[in-house]
């Protein structure tokens, strides 16, 4: 295999030194990108070749859930998670101190939760009570994914913000895609985490294009951090999307997932594919504590590992790694998906604008940070808001996921776009606040009006050494 060693120095020219969205401009004295690019190995382009395949399911495959327990859970699972979140021993005897919390969620699959008096919540999340009951029907005040309205909505009927390449947080590295680490991302409202996995020395690593360019560490370490957050947030449902860069067998992923403590929360769907009406509500998932949906783009096998979902059997995407600021809302993957099927599937709007860097025939896509605030904005010709509106007009409903770089650029604008799509109000503080409510000691995000950060290639030092492996 032919590879090239590349060292690229990007020197930004700053006009009036505004506060940057990806890094503080005072730190932007130079972004150095070093590493190895193998021929045809750009991880930000769609893989091609005989090894790439997409499932074309003409009929529904029913999966067994007896061993997984996803559809057989009871409110005891939520009590266990509440105990874990409060730091108590999950194996100890628990009282029904969480009954008030269950009142607000009301219902779930195969559950009949006692509420108060003679009122009960039936499995279809409707309220019933005896004729002698004087108890008022409770209204939901417990937020699910930050909004009480979401508790009764299906997973397929909510728009969430996705952090593109969530683990890639490196200052002064042009291959980074986010500013804040994953715990901050989740605290701020990110509910889908996407990242690219490489298999190196029998270890699954989060790497961007090449592990020499940006190596964010083992998948297991990252998922452990995510599992810790999930454990302490029992009313939140998140989604993880893995890019299987080296297209290794799905069985290699089960060990890191289990070791991270995430497997107990993974949702197993009852069938393949899942239509929009087949997905459970958030309250169903919360009451059974199956609150993590785990997708993989290539080489998933749900009959072998049912909790790692084949992305393109369940979800389609708009053009991937776009360099076109018009952001067309058309189906790119899976190819040849019929319009009828597309309208009954989840879908993701890829809204991360890239710049292509080319040297001697090799290319690398990096985030267009010069225009990131406009890209993430609520309004504007190339804004996230404009793309969401176009998608809604084209497909009759908003995207389920809005994939963005540097979600913090725009002071929460990406969450405002999602809130508008969900017909709710966004009033949270963004971004990177600590648990104490104090903003982390880093640069404040840019607002919509700001001087442009003009990134110009003043100097580029490229050294390429060809070697044969």
Residues noted as catalytic: 164, 208
Contact 170, 202 (CB under 8 A): no
Could you please report the per-residue DSSP string of 135-185?
A: PPPP---S-BTTBGGGGGSBGGG--EEEETTTT---TT-TT---SS-HHHH
Contact 447, 411 (CB under 8 A): yes
Closest CA to 406 of 178, 160, 189: 178
Q: Any residues with CB less than 8 A from the CB of 459 and at least 6 apart, and which?
A: 9, 11
Q: What are φ and ψ of residue 76, in 5° steps?
A: -60, -30
- 460 three-class SS: coil
Q: What are φ and ψ of residue 82, in 5° steps?
A: -65, -40
**For residues 39 and 209, what is the distance between their CA atoms, to the nearest angstrom?**
11
Per DSSP, 265 falls in state G
**For residues 236 and 184, what is the distance between their CA atoms, to the nearest angstrom?**
15
For residue 387, the surrounding DSSP H or E stretch is: helix 384-395
Contact 262, 230 (CB under 8 A): yes
Q: How far is CA 461 from CA 10, 173, 360, in A?
A: 9, 15, 13
Could you please report the per-residue DSSP string of 324-338?
A: -TT------BSTT--
Angle, to 10 degrees, between the axis of helix 384-395 and the axis of helix 413-422?
20
The H-assigned helical ranges of 16-153 are: 75-85, 99-105
**For residues 305 and 209, what is the distance between their CA atoms, to the nearest angstrom?**
26
Contact 172, 30 (CB under 8 A): yes
């Amino acid at each position: 295999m032919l590879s090239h060693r590349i060292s690229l120095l990007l020197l930004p020219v700053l006009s009036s030194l505004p506060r940057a969205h990806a890094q503080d401009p005072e730190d932007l004295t130079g972004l150095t990108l070093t590493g190895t690019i193998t021929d045809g190995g750009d991880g930000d382009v769609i893989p091609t070749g005989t090894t790439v395949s997409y499932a074309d399911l003409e009929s529904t495959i029913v999966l067994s859930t007896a061993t997984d327990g996803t559809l057989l859970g009871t409110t005891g699972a939520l009590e266990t998670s509440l105990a874990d979140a409060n730091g108590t021993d999950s194996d100890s005897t628990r009282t029904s101190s969480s009954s008030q919390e269950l009142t607000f969620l009301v219902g779930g699959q195969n559950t009949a939760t006692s509420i108060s008096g003679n009122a009960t919540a039936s499995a279809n999340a409707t309220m019933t009570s005896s004729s002698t009951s004087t108890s008022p029907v409770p209204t939901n005040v417990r937020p699910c994914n930050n909004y009480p309205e979401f508790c009764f909505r299906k997973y397929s009927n909510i728009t969430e913000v996705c952090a593109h390449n969530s683990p890639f947080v490196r200052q002064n590295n042009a291959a980074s895609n986010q500013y804040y680490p994953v715990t901050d991302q989740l605290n701020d409202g990110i509910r889908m985490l996407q990242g690219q996995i490489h298999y190196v020395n029998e270890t699954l690593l989060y790497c961007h294009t090449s592990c020499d360019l940006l190596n964010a560490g083992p998948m297991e370490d990252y998922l452990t951090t995510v599992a810790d957050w999930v454990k302490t947030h029992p009313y939140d449902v998140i989604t993880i999307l893995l890019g299987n860069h080296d297209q290794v067998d799905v069985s290699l992923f089960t060990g890191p997932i289990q070791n991270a403590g995430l497997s107990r929360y993974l949702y197993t769907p009852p069938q393949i594919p899942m239509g929009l009406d087949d997905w459970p509500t958030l309250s169903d998932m919360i009451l059974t504590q199956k609150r993590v949906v785990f997708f993989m783009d290539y080489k998933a096998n749900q009959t072998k590992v049912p909790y790692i979902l084949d992305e393109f059997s369940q979800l389609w995407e708009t053009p991937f790694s776009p360099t076109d600021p018009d952001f067309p809302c058309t189906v790119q993957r899976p190819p040849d998906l019929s319009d009828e099927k597309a309208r009954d599937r989840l879908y993701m709007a890829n809204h991360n604008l890239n710049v292509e860097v080319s040297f001697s025939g090799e290319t690398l896509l990096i985030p267009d940070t010069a225009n990131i605030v406009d890209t993430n904005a609520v309004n504007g010709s190339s804004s996230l808001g404009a793309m969401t509106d176009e998608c809604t007009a084209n497909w009759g409903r908003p995207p389920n996921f809005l994939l963005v770089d540097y979600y913090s650029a725009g002071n929460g604008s990406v969450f405002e776009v999602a809130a508008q799509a969900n017909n709710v109000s966004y009033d949270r503080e963004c971004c990177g606040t600590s648990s104490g409510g104090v903003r982390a000691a880093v640069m404040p995000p840019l607002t919509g009006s700001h001087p442009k950060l003009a990134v110009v290639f003043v100097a580029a030092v490229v050294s390429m050494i060809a070697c044969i492996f």
